[in-house]
Chains A and B, each alone.
Chain A
Amino acid sequence: NAGVTQTPKFQVLKTGQSMTLQCAQDMNHEYMSWYRQDPGMGLRLIHYSVGAGITDQGEVPNGYNVSRSTTEDFPLRLLSAAPSQTSVYFCASRKTGAGYTFGSGTRLTVV
């Protein structure tokens, strides 16, 4: 049981480049979310999904897109990277009534 798998673990982008952070879970969880973690600010919700085909914005959605074409996958797209998007990104999933399971994170640096 792999849990929540995030790739890549590390990434460096130039300003203006685009990329996709991958997230996959094999637990058949309905709910999936993306968070960013910045020093002194805890984790802030970017986008979340309550099931395949359904997504919604969180606290800090600007500059990011998501889609949920399958239950297993929830990729996060950076459209045009900016230095303010330098952060550690976590994907998480859960079943109804349970706590979230987090991936190990992607550390992104935008130069």
Chain B
Amino acid sequence: GDSVTQMEGPVTLSEEAFLTINCTYTATGYPSLFWYVQYPGEGLQLLLKATKADDKGSNKGFEATYRKETTSFHLEKGSVQVSDSAVYFCALSDQGTDKLIFGTGTRLQVFP
């Protein structure tokens, strides 16, 4: 079945460092891909999405490109802030059933 694999955390960075969180997927067909963010004590918020190959999703300085050839959707940000500290989830939307399948999440900790 469809699945999402994320790099294990925590990822610990200093403020203004470059961020990459790796995400790869396995799916039949052509899923949509998402990054969600969860701040402490809160629900998940959609960060960005891409619906087809080579699409780039972007929001709040974060970017991710849908790479069909490598089945990847890596999250990047050029300069992280302390306020970016959260858990980040990669997910795909199953094309046939529209179910959202999540990775296990990656905790990001940014220190001043």
Contacts and interface: CB of A to CB of B under 8 A. Distances in A.
Interface of A: 4, 31, 33, 35, 40-45, 48, 50, 56, 58, 90, 92, 99-105
Given A42-B89, A45-B99, A104 B46 contact: no
B25 interface: no
A102 B43 contact: yes
14 contacts: A35-B102, A40-B104, A41-B104, A42-B104, A43-B102, A44-B102, A45-B99, A56-B97, A90-B43, A92-B44, A99-B46, A99-B49, A100-B100, A104-B42
Task: State the main secondary structure of chain B at its contact with A.
Answer: strand
Given A42-B104, A92-B44, A102-B43, 4 more contacts: A42-B105, A92-B100, A100-B100, A101-B46
A35 B101 CA distance: 10
Contacts of A103: 43
B34 A99 contact: yes
**Interface size bucket, B side?**
10 to 19
Contacts of B100: 33, 45, 92, 100
Contacts of A105: 42-43
Contacts of A40: 104
B43 A100 contact: no
Contacts, number: 43
A94 B75 CA distance: 23
Nearest to A44: B102
Contacts of B98: 31, 50
Nearest to B4: A42
A103 B20 CA distance: 27
Contacts of A56: 97
Contacts of A90: 43-44
A90 B100 CA distance: 13
B104 A102 contact: no
B101 A45 contact: yes
Given A48-B99, A92-B100, A99-B34, A43 B45 contact: no
A42 B42 CA distance: 15
A56 B99 CA distance: 10
